[in-house]
Structure 1
Amino acid sequence: MISQVLEPIAIPPPLNQNLPKPHCHMPNTLSLFDKPVSSSTYASILESCNNPRLGKQVHAHTFKTGFSGQEFVDTKLLQMYGRFGCLGDADLLFDKMTKRNLYSWTAMISLYVDNGLFEEAFCLFDKLQFDDVLLDFFVFPVVLQICSGLGNLELGRQLHGILIKYRFVSNIYVGNALIDMYGKCGSLDDAKKVLETMPEKDRVSWNAIVTACAINGKVFEALGFFETMSLCENSRPNLVSWSAIIGGFSQNGYDEEAIEMLFRMVREGIEPNAQTLASVLPAFARLQKLNLGKEFHGYITRHRLMSNPIVVNGLIDVYRKCGDMMSAFQLFSKFSLKNVVSCNTMIVGYCENGNVSKAKELFDQMRTMAVKKDIISWNSMISGYVNNSLFDEALNLFKHVLTEDGIEPNSFTLGSVLTACTDTSSLRLGKEIHSQAIIRGLQYNTFVGGALVEMYCKCQDIMAAQIAFNEVSERDTSTWNALISGYSRCNQIEDLQHLLTKMKEDGFEPNVYTWNGIIAGHVENDHHDKAMQLFSEMQISNIRPDIYTIGIVLPACSRSATIERGKQVHAHSVRCGYDADVYIGAALVDMYAKCGSIHHAVLAYNRILDPNLVSHNAMLTAYAMHGHGEDGIALFRRMITNGCRPDHVTFLSALSSCVHVGSVEMGRELFNLMQHYDVKPTIKHYTCMIDLLSRAGQLNEAYELIKSVPVEVDSVMWGALLSGCVIHDNIELGEVAAERLVALETNNTANYVLLANLYAYAGKWSDLARTRQKIKDIGMYKIPGCSWIEDRDDVHVFLAYDKSHKRTEEIYATLDKLTLHMKTMAL
């Protein structure tokens, strides 16, 4: 966008300064042919042509009058063809010209440049130097654009040397072109030197250096030159200057500064044009400032800029990133030019906001809208499916890409479908896509190679991951991180230090993502103590844990039930301001609940700034886990009142709360409510209802529900029914449940113990004796209970009658003293 607002390098009129003024309307201009014509007549007519068809008629007329082949007229014809981009006609004319002057050469070179044919343009300039034509300054601003187009700094410096030799370097047009060339070739120092040595500077000179700084990321240097301009009476910033500095801030990620400069521009009475607004709208989008976006939408409407497709697409992008797809669609329908760019923007927006069906609908409609899909369209749809966990749909669409005429999958296509294979652990499909990458030579690509490494690691094929990594031609930190994380997740912990050393030898330093990958692997493989040790090492290293690190280590605290370590992680998250994040808050709630502190779980939940379904579910689960059924039901009611749409986890936790308070009616209400929210009951929901009914003594209803379950009934359901039968002395139904339980789990002692308890409560002693004898005959024994305590940084685990602890003698000696003390106190 910056390059679009840079003023074109001005070149003086090439020939006759006193040509007649062109007429406004072609019919009046063509009437000049009624009189005797001259070269000046043709020049005037050609300069006033407003379409190539009329220009070609004039060209045909020159053959009738004998002016075809005249150097001046042919040059004007070349310039006319160049103006309309008629490269083929210009080429044909230029090849037939017997006499070429510097202006015809310049016109032809300029046409090649305008069409992006920079190498061809330079070849033409090379031929010019061997032609018997004296070079002049005005050809060089055009030739310097070749260097910019090719990004060839060395060539630009050679041309600079030629300009010094011909003493054209002091010309203001040449100086401005040199600044522009050096800026676009990335040599800002050379651009600044040219500016310093220019004997005369104009507004274009300053605009060129402002733009050069901006496109090289030195936006505050650009601002310095911009402020210097403001002090120059004859070179005060104009629309181009403002657009360059605003575009520079926006393109370099200084969004707040870009918006502030736009406001300042308006305050100073400079009206932004379509290009200015198009350059700053991405800043509104990235900051997700919907209100400001709407304000400038109004400004754009009032200033009648809605006909500009770039501005309209920019506005659509603002609404898309702010999640207001209704406004985005209204713009798209009413104002947008229906092209592939606007369609792709809408597809991405729908996918990002979870409305994949709308995205697919528009994707399919592109054919009826006469808009040809490009690879970006296909990539947007495939990545949309992947990001919304619709992996089968993504893979099916990829198969269509392979058969689509004119569409060639690129690195982004393969990277997206490989992500689908990774998330579904589809090794076979991943290998097929790997073969597609090899066919296209994309296995060496950094993005594809990294995706292959991740896919093979997720599928536990670490050797294939290493081979894929070795094939990547230009590895980066992300590629190394994918491999190191893969080794850690595959539990190849002993190889990590060697890989870290190799990574450093390759010129890449481990970053926070490297550490996160290693810690995540330790957590996934139940190395919780080592994971916490690594977290502690991170805190004292020069790499600080980020919000993702916190999210990774909190489950380690949850699984090891170490509340003190959890509190340390919580303290770090508070210092960094992460605890108010909805996902970190939910993880803290889960950790405290599993570590036995519902009080701290509630405090963590209340700190979340913008709770969502995930955090609500975490709190509901915590209440259910700790038997706070009434609190859980109250939270569920608040969620519904506030418009939060429950999912299967919400209902499961709410039903568990009903079990704890024994509220059968509320349980039935919740179970029936699932249908209203399109939540299909799973086996866990049925188990909750059976447990609720069994505990409440409604055993026949529970049994009938078991028989109506549409999935295979498991041991947990029968166990819940049997427990209810034990509580309420229902021998007949208890024996049915026990029979089914034993058939499902023949070696589970707990099932026989439950049946024995049932007989004991009912006073059926002979059946009790028979059951106990059966337990003895089979050789089963009850799994001992387990408990643990935290002592500073250590966790001590104990089993019943356990003698494996290293301090067993001290423990039992202390236990004997306590037992004796209790007996003494009881006397």
Structure 2
Amino acid sequence: MCVRVALSSKKFAPSFRKSSATELGRYHGPRKEILKEWRLGITVIEETKENGQRYPSNPGSVQNQIMNALHLGERGKASNLLSHIGYKNHMLKPNNFVKILEYCAHTPDPPFVLEIWRTMEEKGVDLDNKSHVFVIQALCKGGYIEQAFNLMNNCGESQHLFPSVDKYNIILEALAKLKDVTYVGKCLDKMEHDMVGKNETTYTELLKLAVLQKNLSAVHSIWKEYAKYYNFNLISLREFIWAFTRLGDVESSYEALQQLVDLVFQGGFTIKKKAEGNLVISRLDVPIPFYSNLEWDTCQKVKVGYGLDSKEVVKNPNIGLVMRILKLSFADVIQACARDKNHELAEQLFLQMQNLGMKPSRGAYDGLIRVLLEEKSLHDGMEVLNMMQKRNMKPLDSTLAALSARCSKDLELNLAELFLNEIIHCKTPYPYNQLLEACDTLDELERGVEVFGKMKKMKVAPNIKTYELLFSLFGNINIPYENGSQESKPEAAKRIKAIEEDRVRNGIQHSYTSIRNLLKAVGSEGLIDELLNNYLPVAEKQFFTPGPPIYNIVLHSLVEAKEGEKAVNLFKRLVSNGYRPNDVTCTIMIDCCSITGSFRSAHGFISLMIRSGYPPQIYAYTSLIKLVLELDDFDEALNLLNQATSRGIQLDAVLFNTILNTASWKGRIDIIEYVMDRMHEERVPPDAQTCIHVFSVYEDCKLFDTAIEALQVMSVNMLSKQDIEENGSIFVDDFIYGEDSRVELKAVDLFRDCKENVAVALLNLRGCAIMGGDRIPWLTGQSRWVRRISDANWCR
């Protein structure tokens, strides 16, 4: 035996000075030196020596040194000290380990707790209930759930341990934090077996687990069982409101919220804040009996009205905490209204908050703005945003994201980008995707590049929707209706490759839409080799059998690129592999026959369509007419037109334009006027291409007055009857005869509102007015040109 001295803490020094001589005599060495050491505040620690190492013999001292070693991160030293605890056959008790276990429970350190547990078993020390709780806490916090259950089984093997609801609550709490619902049933079964009952904490944890499981019926079951044994309080109602709103039950959350409001204004309760930050109601929580498992059937909902109360707040020393609970609950329900698209209830709850004297939180504003943007208009959302700004409240990122998305939907791109730039932390690519989609709609390529760059800078992870839009937006270099050129093809190939590499780098699999947009982008630029050799194999590998839409895109691209032979070869390969073409496939191949010049093959595809259960529709007739016109057979083209009409097929401008295009090119005014009379008779409105074909043929033949009159009639027919009735005077004053220098720009803006035909019609009519045309013939049937071509075709 030897003696080592160590500096003691100052708080123990007075007790050492009062020690008797008899106590001091227990230590070896000169008494005067020991007295002197104690007066200096030095503790004498009994040590033993083994293999050249010194170890404290006092278990209490070892426990403190182990904790110090753990605190310093010296796990090896702590394990070494633990192995020598209780040396010289000191009688060990659970109390000699409890401080270490408590420390490990808060850290947590499950592996060291298991090491302590083994050491205690080796030295014959049984856990007491206090130590038992700390071990369970450490294991549960560290995710060692199975070991915690095994430890609970020890309760039946030891006379010193007993199961309790608090121990099981620790396990339930850990399961909720770990988002692990696999052990919930096992835990409830053991609680029932051990007859520990449930308390309010149990219900709180079960609510969290039910939300994790997205089990609304379980939440209703917990509500019913809780109501049998407890009176609802502020905390429990707050927890139920949270659960109902997370699972989308707005009606039940509203009912619970109104109970909470009534309870707050009744008063008579005390709220305390625990050290961990949790709020609790000061009252005795006695466990209730455990009657089997909870009922998991949905209880009947209570129908409630949406009444609003105006009350005075009861004075309460905890009013700050109380109002915080109330504001959070209101915000939760209002945000649930946003998800449920219930703007009426959201607005009423927002008004109720104000009537009760509460200033709505940012969360309440967030829910209200989002539901107004979704269900009403951008204007309604902006009005509430202005209310926030008057109170100097900064919107939540989710509010800004919703505002940006709605602006994108309304094609207010500048405003959408402004809100997007104000977001600090964006968790979802949704607002970026909405803006990219708007850029795609308006063909604003440069802005789309900036949006994607901002997305990268903010480190917002793209999803498959992002890549679907990128392929659609960046896959085509040319303006709409323009084919790929030698200059655009390399740039398009470079962009498409960069997007594809970025997708692979982010580990995102192609969707059907993304691969379709990719193939469409490659095909529209005429990148045939890349289409067949690179990207089509990717689609076939991922989807195994991509299906008609994918193959139709590829075949259509080949036909558009005048690669008839390659289209035929691909079609033969597909059919030999068991591919069954649909009506669109056959129509594309009929179009392909116009390249090969085989009318016989076209009839073969018509037969294939009929055998496959696809009677020829408008697209098939359009392709057939295009083919016969390639053979310069106008009579057969008109016969096909009559055949389509007799079969009751709804004709469109594209079919008529197919004939008009060839007739205009060949200067066949007779065919032009016959087809225009048929369009008028079938009530098929013309489009921009119709106007070009008809006007051009008259202009080429020096029939300028007729060209202007025909253009006026066609342009009026491009406008709907509703457009003329509602906006006729505006069209005349502001567009057709307007003297503002920005008239043409205003008309072009209609393109951005997806009103292409209206824009073309107004620009045409303005041009006719400038060239000296007659007053606008709103009643086109009275036009001399219309009557003349009608009379001529009656004789045909």
TM bucket (normalised to shorter chain) is 0.3 to 0.5
The structure whose RCO (Cα within 8 Å, separation 6+) is larger is 2
Q: Give the TM-score, by structure 1 length.
A: 0.46
Greater Rg over alpha carbons, structure: 2
